[in-house]
Amino acid sequence: MKIDLSQKIILVTGASRGIGKSIALLLGKSGAKLALNYNRNEEAALAVQKEIGKRAVLFKGNLSNAMEVTSMFASVIEHFGRLDVLVNNAGIALSAPTNQNDVEWVESWLTTMDVNLNAVGLLCKKSIEIFKTQASGGRIINIASRAAFRGETEEYLAYAASKGAVVALTKSIAKSFGKYGIKSFVVAPGFVLTDMAKPFIEAYGKEKTLDATALDEATLPEHLAPLVAFIASGNMDHATGTTIDINGGSYLH
């Protein structure tokens, strides 16, 4: 089935690399008009924009700062006039073992929550405000993690907690706003081979990361993009509130 997103305006956070980049490129190929959020790596973001073409517009914003989140979203709406799909992809995983001093541990915890949960919640809120004014409603796609269900190692307590909260948030949105035509979904990857994953590979080794799936290959960012495009198209609307696992069979629940 060919996905036609030519009538969709889609905001993708963390679109300059990794999973976000793959999602943005496929959505662009499917015809969507794209608002691409990035934080620091403008060169990489420009490269993604160039590959997609004139349908993609860049919006800089540090998602750990609520004011920047709000400003970035306002700029998206000012430019495009509406929004059809929000893809909350951006996330961080800060290592913070429990033997770390309290000040540093709390700082890592709060920063993780700011990016992985608070920004996600705020962008969902702002999108819902827009979606409720549109006859077509809208769709929210939140990228979580298998960590939300199986937990994580002690260095990544905050990461797992933030992703678990995203799952609950997504279900609550589906339950509360379906009558407005608003649908929400979770995509929960396992270990995905990205630049962000390199510290994990170094810390835990290939056997516990790349080889931990039931398949004979590691999950790549481009393995997630087709599902996101399919959800964005509306073909999965009656699955609103669900979580779709893409972890190569590494965690089954």
* pLDDT (tens digit per residue) in 46-55: 999 999 999 9
Strands 138-143 and 182-189: parallel
pLDDT at 219: 86
CATH number of the domain that residue 128 is part of: 3.40.50.720
* Cβ neighbourhood burial of 9 (10 Å; 0-12, 13-18, 19+): buried
pLDDT at 191: 80
The total domain count for the chain is 1
In-domain check, residue 209: yes
**104 near 158, Cβ under 8 Å?**
no
Alpha carbon of 211 to those of 72, 215, 220, 232: distances in Å?
39, 8, 13, 31
pLDDT average, residue stretch 24-39: 98
Q: State the chain's mean pLDDT as an integer.
A: 94
Residue 159: active-site member:
yes
DSSP 36: E
pLDDT at 41: 92
pLDDT average, residue stretch 20-47: 97
In-domain check, residue 1: no
In-domain check, residue 76: yes
In-domain check, residue 70: yes
pLDDT at 2: 85
pLDDT at 217: 81
* pLDDT (tens digit per residue) in 194-222: 777 666 667 766 666 666 788 888 889 99
In-domain check, residue 114: yes
**What residues make up the domain containing 28?**
9-245
In-domain check, residue 66: yes
pLDDT at 244: 97
Q: Which residues of 32-70 are buried (b: 16+ CB within 10 A; e: fewer)?
A: bbbbbbbbeeeebbeebbeebeebbbbbebbbbbeeebb
In-domain check, residue 251: no
pLDDT at 195: 72
Minimum mean pLDDT range among 144-148, 158-162, 248-252: 248-252
Which pLDDT band holds residue 251 (cuts at 50, 70, 90)?
A: confident
Could you say which of 38, 159, 180, 251 is catalytic?
A: 159
* pLDDT (tens digit per residue) in 63-81: 999 999 999 999 999 999 9
pLDDT at 141: 99
In-domain check, residue 133: yes
* pLDDT (tens digit per residue) in 84-137: 999 999 999 999 999 999 999 999 999 999 999 999 999 999 999 999 999 999
pLDDT average, residue stretch 154-176: 97
Compare 218 and 189 and report the one with higher pLDDT: 189
pLDDT at 129: 98
